[in-house]
Amino acid sequence: MKSSHGTFAAIVWIVCGALLFNFEPEAQLISWQTPVYFVVGMFAAGALFGNLSYAAVHGVTRALVSAKIVTAPTRRAAIGLTVTGYALFAFEAVLIYWVARWTVRALF
């Protein structure tokens, strides 16, 4: 489960990089910054954002259970936790995009 969070973060980092290198006017595909961004950044994003995402998902789940919002493993609880998980993944993707955009602008 923890590795899927890191894989998701690395894939979002690569997709954001492809978009940013294509649309940012100062970014150049043939440069020393490109392998630094894609190779080092991919592993760093997977480790950093993957662990943050894993901790956030489990923290929110534990908070909902301890606050007695989710009291039993019902269908409603499963739907609520699934929607919460998707919202956290969407927030993670936006956060990764912001960091990737800042990184591309800082490298060039």
Confidence of residue 81 (pLDDT cuts 50, 70, 90): confident
Instruction: Please compute Rg for the chain using Cα positions.
Output: 17
- Pair of tokens at residue 108: 């060039």
Contacts of 7 (CB under 8 A, 6+ apart): 46, 50
Among 29-38, 65-74, 79-88, 92-101, where is mean pLDDT lowest? 65-74
Question: What would the pLDDT profile of 20-61 be if each residue is shown by its tens digit?
Answer: 999 988 888 888 889 999 999 999 999 999 999 999 988 988
Asked if residues 16 and 101 have their Cβ atoms less than 8 Å apart, the reply is: yes
Q: Answer whether residue 2 shows pLDDT above 80.
A: no
Q: Answer whether residue 19 shows pLDDT above 80.
A: yes
HEC readout, 15-69: HHHHHHHHHCCCCCCCCCHHHHHHHHHHHHHHHHHHHHHHHHHHHHHHHHHHCCC
Which of the pair, 108 or 95, is modelled with greater confidence? 95
pTM of this structure: 0.86
